Chains A and B, each alone.
Chain A
Amino acid sequence: MDDPRPFIEKANPTHPSVIDTEHVVAELYHIVNVPTMIWIDENGQICRPHDTQFGTDIFTAFHGKHSGPYLDMIRAWVRDGSGAMTAKQVKEHQPVPTAESQLARTERTLAWWLQNQGREEAAGRHFDRAGELAPQDWTIRRGSLPIRGKDPFGDDFFTLAADGAPEYPMEAVTPTKDPAAHS
């Protein structure tokens, strides 16, 4: 619960930052990697689904994405609603769970519960099983590294990254030509 405290306190955001120790949102939105961003319109409808994007450029050398064009898109959306997708487009670009991915989340829940009971060895079996069922879900494979006493930026992470990072089925963001977007 306190793990994200230093990040949140340093950023001191004006928006709510909620803590999700049990992956409630991962389950509801089928999150497979972070960071991910979803746009929700005034009526509570998803109008742009999962997209791995970044607020800064500190890891750009590693993942190759620049934050600027996406931040411009968000500003334009807030200003005039542009950039929102049609319902058809959202459905085409929204990843959906499968029987296997749901079983993986269920195995992960059992692992996390066992971990909380102090049953680390048993928990490890189910983290492993969850990872085998959903190898392209880093909320499970990378997310469980620190729980299991491993370094999520260390060798275990690079072994994981060698298989390729999970990707959402979203098209690339192209830099906007609207000069007003850079205000």
Chain B
Amino acid sequence: MGTKFTIIDDGPRDQAGTAGFRATQVSAHIDGERVSIPAEEIESALGWHLRDEGLCRGEVCMPVRERSTLATANGIDLQNFARILDRPLAIDIAERAAVLGTDAGTRRGRLETLEAPDFELPDLQGRTHRLSNHRGKKVLLIAHASW
């Protein structure tokens, strides 16, 4: 029997960056600090599944060394899963929640293309604005805070 556990996928978005937590409930097996999640639930939450070639999503596969540390009797070991994908993982065992973030190399690579990363966010009236809709004009992007 698994314990209810929330995984939040804060990975690079294929489309424009938008707000909204991508949180999925899964059933986890918790043993001390280790969290294991059934392979099929990892696949529906995060899109990755274990094949002979390695850990795959779509056409992309990551080779898996020491497969037994990833695929355990209780499912996919979450910490080793994050390590193989080189993605940062923030986890709170007591709260039964974890966030899988985006690795620095992906973010750095996108910034180094110098193409301004696209995003879509709402204004106070709830109208959404998308950066790339301003192509053809100069844009001054100002980030401020309400502190």
What is the interface of chain A, defined by CB distance below 8 A to chain B? Answer: 2-5, 7-9, 16-22, 24-31, 34-46, 74, 77-78, 87, 90-91, 94, 96-99, 101-103, 105-107, 109-110, 113-114, 116, 119, 122, 125-126, 129, 139, 142-143, 145-146, 152-153
Residues of B within 8 A of A153 (CB): 147
**In the docked arrangement, what's the CA distance between A4 and B108, Å?**
30
Are B95 and A114 neighbours in the complex by a CB distance under 8 Å?
A: yes
Closest to A20 in B: B121
Q: How large is the interface on B (under 10, 10 to 19, 20 to 34, 35 or more residues)?
A: 35 or more
Closest to B103 in A: A102
Give chain B nearest CB distance to A85 CB in angstroms.
10
Give chain B nearest CB distance to A182 CB in angstroms.
19
**In the docked arrangement, what's the CA distance between A152 and B137, Å?**
35
Are A3 and B146 neighbours in the complex by a CB distance under 8 Å?
A: yes
Interface code B59-92, partner A: CB below 8 Å = 1, 0 otherwise? 0000000000000000000000000000011111
**In the docked arrangement, what's the CA distance between A26 and B112, Å?**
16
Which of B16-24, B26-34, B36-44 is the contact stretch?
A: B16-24
Are A106 and B147 neighbours in the complex by a CB distance under 8 Å?
A: no
Chain B facing A: main interface SS: mixed
11 contacts between A and B (CB under 8 A): A27-B102, A28-B119, A37-B140, A45-B115, A78-B138, A96-B111, A98-B104, A106-B102, A109-B99, A110-B92, A139-B145
Tell me whether B46 is interfacial, beta carbon within 8 Å. Answer: no
Closest to B147 in A: A152
B124's contact among A19, A38, A96, A126, by CB below 8 Å, is which? Answer: A19
**In the docked arrangement, what's the CA distance between A17 and B141, Å?**
10
Give chain A nearest CB distance to B2 CB in angstroms.
20
The residue in B90, B91, B99, B103 that gathers the most chain A C-beta atoms within 10 A of its C-beta is B90
A44's contact among B17, B91, B115, by CB below 8 Å, is which? Answer: B115
**In the docked arrangement, what's the CA distance between A38 and B111, Å?**
12
**In the docked arrangement, what's the CA distance between A39 and B139, Å?**
6
State whether A37 and B146 are in contact (beta carbons under 8 Å apart), knowing that A43-B135, A106-B10, A110-B92 are contacts in the complex. no
Are A36 and B114 neighbours in the complex by a CB distance under 8 Å?
A: no
**In the docked arrangement, what's the CA distance between A4 and B135, Å?**
27
